């Protein structure tokens, strides 16, 4: 249960220079989810309130996360992680929370149970607690310095670390995850100094300050903590994404999802798959997609925010986004189902068929080379190859209604707004601009004339 006595602060204002991208670092994605989304989701599992410090590209970050925007705090100039927390501190005070969990926006793999563990440490009496990890090499991470008795004395950033002063490097580093008791930290947070090699206010200096003012400091060491280390470069992003991908795919297979060529299968963290669903890689299933038992997804297919029901078959090379496929639908190969595509039970779309805001009734078929946009097709209707709904007049979009059991001949243009009645027949090659009555036959093409070919002897 999210806890109302703890407020989370996500530090997400940095540019992420080492990423070599114009995009703010927290907008980089892993399995289709932004880093910030993943961190916020973890934070929301333990805290009722989440604040996010934004700065570099904050308008883009806001646009991508409208649901988090109420908790955004602007750090106009990025003067370090300590300064970022100072910027959010007034909101922390106002929240009335007694504890503050601080997360780096570049740690998308942070497991919620690590946050819980740290919170427990603080509930047990620490004023400043942080998660540390022991790595084979300390790299560019902040190093944990302990006294002769093993007590934590400070965190020293890599640039400022000097073995002569701070002792030999032990490999114990700061993960960047802190939990602070608000009342005592209130007295020291604004004492941070920027007198260091980067000229920044480091949150890590809080540890030394806390020790100096007699507060209780606790470093919780965590095994396997590479998941908690921040993502700073394209290579680290790739490693983290692959780690996440393999874990998710493995978990689905263990739960009973049948996955062929699993090395090439990408499944987002919010996707739900029922045991008995079948996937063939390479394929990507992202967003809030749901795939039921007995449904199958072919290779080279991408499915985003879509629902595929039992017994439905999405064949190779399909693209689905915000589409809904009822039971026993067959799509593809090479179908493109854009937002608002709804296929009722047993409907079929074949190769090079595009649907947008279009409904295919039960058993209706559009088997080849067709565009259905802003359109409703009744049960059992048959849409011939090359049919196009001309839904856009250059200014507005208009709808097309096709009744149940209607038959649209090949290469028909349906100029919307237009209605074809139930069981009506439209001749191939027609340009339909007027409604066709129920059971009627419409032919709208010029008649063929056969003439004698000049210059040729019979």
Which residues are annotated as catalytic?
Answer: 368
Judged by beta carbon, residue 76 or residue 254, the one nearer ligand UD1 is: 76
DSSP 323: -
Residues 196-225 that bind ligand UD1 (CB under 6 A): 202-204
Tell me the backbone φ, ψ of residue 377, rounded to 5 degrees.
-115, 125
Q: Which of 102, 114, 229, 330 binds ligand UD1 (CB under 6 A)?
A: 229
**Region at 214 (left for phi over 0; alpha for psi -120 to 50; beta for the rest):** left
Q: Which of 80, 230, 350, 405 binds Ca ion (CB under 5 A)?
A: 230
CB of 157 to ligand UD1, least distance (A): 5
Q: Which of 42, 128, 173, 318 binds ligand UD1 (CB under 6 A)?
A: 173
Residue 98, CA distances (Å) to 44, 123, 202, 380 in order: 17, 10, 22, 62
Judged by beta carbon, residue 65 or residue 348, the one nearer ligand UD1 is: 65
CB of 287 to ligand UD1, least distance (A): 24
Query: How many residues sit in the footprint of ligand UD1 (CB under 6 A)?
Result: 30
- Over the window 180 to 219, marking each residue x when it contacts Ca ion by CB under 5 A and - when it does not, the resulting string is ----------------------------------------
CB of 164 to ligand UD1, least distance (A): 20
Q: Kindly state whether residue 89 participates in binding ligand UD1, applying the rule CB under 6 A.
A: no
CB of 18 to Ca ion, least distance (A): 8
Residues 37-66 that bind ligand UD1 (CB under 6 A): 53, 55
Structure tokens given for 84: 């970022």
Judged by beta carbon, residue 63 or residue 397, the one nearer ligand UD1 is: 63
Task: Confirm if 56 and 24 have CB atoms less than 8 A apart.
Answer: yes
Q: Among 430, 381, 388, 432, which Cα is nearest to 407's?
A: 381
Q: Output b/e per residue, 326-358; b: 16+ Cβ within 10 A.
A: bbbbbbbbbbbbbebbbbbbbbbbbbbbbbbbb
Residues 116-155 that bind ligand UD1 (CB under 6 A): 141-142, 155
* Cα 126 from chain centroid (whole Å): 35
Q: Kindly state whether residue 27 participates in binding ligand UD1, applying the rule CB under 6 A.
A: no
Strands (E) in 182-300, as ranges, are: 217-222, 258-260, 265-267, 272-273, 278-280, 283-286, 290-291, 296-297
Judged by beta carbon, residue 230 or residue 268, the one nearer ligand UD1 is: 230
Instruction: Report how far residue 58's alpha carbon sits from residue 158's, in angstroms, rounded to the nearest whole number.
Output: 28
Task: Confirm if 5 and 98 have CB atoms less than 8 A apart.
Answer: yes
- Over the window 58 to 97, marking each residue x when it contacts Ca ion by CB under 5 A and - when it does not, the resulting string is ----------------------------------------
Q: Kindly state whether residue 232 participates in binding ligand UD1, applying the rule CB under 6 A.
A: yes
CB of 32 to ligand UD1, least distance (A): 20
Helix (H) / strand (E) element for 455: namely: none
Does residue 180 sit in helix, strand or coil?
strand
Binding residues (CB under 5 A) for Ca ion: these are 106, 230, 232
Binding residues (CB under 6 A) for ligand UD1: these are 11-14, 53, 55, 75, 78-81, 83-84, 104-106, 141-142, 155, 157, 173-176, 202-204, 229-230, 232
């Amino acid at each position: 249960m999210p806890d109302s006595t703890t407020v989370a602060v996500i530090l997400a204002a940095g540019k992420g220079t080492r990423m070599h991208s114009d995009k703010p670092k927290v907008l980089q994605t892993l399995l289709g989810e932004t880093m910030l989304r993943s961190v916020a989701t973890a934070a929301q599992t333990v805290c009722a309130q989440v604040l996010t410090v934004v700065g570099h590209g904050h308008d883009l970050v806001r646009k991508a996360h409208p649901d988090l925007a109420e908790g955004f705090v602007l750090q106009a100039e990025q003067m370090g992680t300590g300064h970022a927390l100072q910027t959010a501190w007034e909101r922390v005070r106002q929240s009335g929370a007694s504890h503050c969990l601080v997360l780096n926006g570049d740690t998308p793999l942070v497991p919620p149970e690590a946050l819980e563990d740290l919170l427990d440490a603080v509930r047990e009496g620490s004023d400043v607690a942080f998660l540390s990890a022991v790595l084979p090499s300390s790299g560019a991470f902040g190093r944990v310095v302990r006294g002769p008795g093993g007590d934590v004395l400070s965190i020293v950033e890599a640039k400022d670390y000097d073995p002569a002063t701070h002792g030999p490097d032990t490999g114990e580093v700061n993960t960047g995850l802190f939990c602070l008791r608000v009342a005592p930290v209130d007295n020291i947070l604004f004492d941070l100094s920027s007198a260091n090699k980067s000229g920044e206010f480091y949150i890590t200096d809080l540890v030394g300050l806390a020790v100096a003012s007699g507060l209780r400091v606790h470093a919780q060491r965590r095994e396997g903590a590479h998941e908690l280390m921040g993502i700073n470069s394209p290579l680290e992003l790739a490693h983290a994404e692959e780690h996440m991908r393999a874990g998710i795919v493995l978990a689905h297979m263990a739960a009973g999802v049948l996955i062929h060529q699993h090395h090439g299968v990408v499944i987002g963290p919010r996707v739900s798959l029922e045991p008995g669903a079948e996937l063939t890689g390479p394929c990507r299933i992202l967003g809030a997609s749901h795939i039921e038992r007995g449904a199958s997804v072919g290779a080279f297919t991408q499915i985003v925010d879509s629902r595929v029901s039992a017994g439905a078959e999405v064949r190779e090379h399909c693209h689905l986004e915000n589409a809904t496929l009822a039971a026993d639908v067959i799509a593809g190969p090479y179908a493109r189902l854009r937002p608002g595509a709804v296929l009722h039970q047993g409907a079929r779309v074949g190769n090079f068929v595009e649907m947008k805001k279009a409904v295919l009734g039960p058993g209706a078929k559009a088997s080849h080379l067709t565009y259905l946009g802003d359109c409703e097709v009744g049960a059992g209707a048959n849409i011939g190859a090359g049919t196009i709904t001309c839904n856009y007049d250059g200014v507005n979009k208009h709808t097309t209604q096709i009744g149940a059991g209607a038959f649209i001949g090949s290469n028909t243009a349906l100029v919307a707004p237009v209605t074809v009645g139930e069981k009506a027949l439209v001749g191939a090659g027609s340009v339909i601009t007027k409604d066709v009555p129920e059971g009627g036959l419409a032919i709208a093409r010029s008649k063929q004339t056969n003439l004698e070919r000049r210059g040729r002897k019979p």
